[in-house]
Amino acid sequence: MNNFYSQAEFSRILAENNIVVTGEIFVYKSGFIGEAYIDKEALNLLGSDEFISCLNGMANQAISSFLSFDDEVKNVLVIGPANGAISYAPIVSSYLQKYFRTIKFRHGRTQLDKNDKHYIAEKHKALIDISDTFIIVEDIVNQGTTIKEVSAILPKQVNSVLCLVDRGNNSAENLGIEQFFPFLRVNMDQYDPRKNASLFESEMKINTTLGKGNIWVEQFGQPPYGDDVDFSTFSLLK
């Protein structure tokens, strides 16, 4: 048996483990809202073999989709953004090393400051300095907020982003990178609450355990809301 999952096998894993959650209103990191959520923490409940096969499948698909590097690239740092994808980087870098023999792959991570902004710790900057380019690995990509933030703190161009699931119909162009390789694309509508307040007229409540719903409820409470509520003041939309 291969040590990587196909797209179809990964879709089955999502379904069998109830990783796609519905039935409430969810607030995403971008500040947008929707009626479905992919519980990336549930991925960590998979057995080790399943989890590694998911990440290997993601890397294998990127290779099959012609992941490439410039001829002068000899050192690549695979970065797992804090906190969810930190464990992804060593697995993905190991898999890529088997296929790109002339390139040295290392793995690193970002950290979060008190405002949940990504930064590179001083002790990890040596890895940054010796790297010719970077790969960012992610779990779920919505609006690409984390990718753009991590890219902005790196001194050189990001070669590519690999992710398990793209929810936002993203592309390399809108993410500001050279190559984008989502293992799976899942269409789940996302709404700007400033323009779609009617979503709150349903009987569904804001989920406060997944995503950023807890921040929303701290500011606005649970629906229903009065006509005078100004959702443009939501902190994640500023």
Q: Which of 124, 123, 68, 122 is nearest to 100 (CA)?
A: 68
What is the mean pLDDT of the segment spanning 51-70?
96
Q: For the chain, what is the domain count? A: 1
| Residue at 218 is within a domain | no
Confidence check: pLDDT of 199 > 70: yes
| Residue at 232 is within a domain | no
Confidence check: pLDDT of 83 > 70: yes
Q: Which of 36, 82, 80, 17 is nearest to 190 (CA)?
A: 36
Confidence check: pLDDT of 237 > 90: no
Confidence check: pLDDT of 1 > 60: no
What is the mean pLDDT of the segment spanning 35-57?
90
- Give the model confidence (pLDDT) of 158-192 as tens digits: 999 999 999 888 999 999 999 999 999 988 888 99
Mean of all residue pLDDT scores within the chain: 92
The CA distance from 236 to 216, in Å, is 9
| Residue at 224 is within a domain | no
Which CATH number belongs to the domain containing residue 68 in this structure?
A: 3.40.50.2020
The CA distance from 118 to 126, in Å, is 17
The CA distance from 80 to 235, in Å, is 25
| Residue at 58 is within a domain | yes
Confidence check: pLDDT of 53 > 90: yes
Q: What pLDDT does 2 receive?
A: 64
Q: What pLDDT does 58 receive?
A: 97
Share of the chain above pLDDT 90, in %: 74
Share of the chain above pLDDT 70, in %: 99
Q: Strands of 75-80's sheet, edge to edge?
A: 104-109, 75-80, 133-141, 158-166, 179-185
Q: Which of 120, 140, 116, 136 is nearest to 41 (CA)?
A: 140
pLDDT-based confidence at residue 142 (cuts at 50, 70, 90): confident
Domain, as residue range, for 79: 7-185
pLDDT-based confidence at residue 103 (cuts at 50, 70, 90): very high
Q: Which residue has the higher pLDDT, 92 or 15?
A: 92
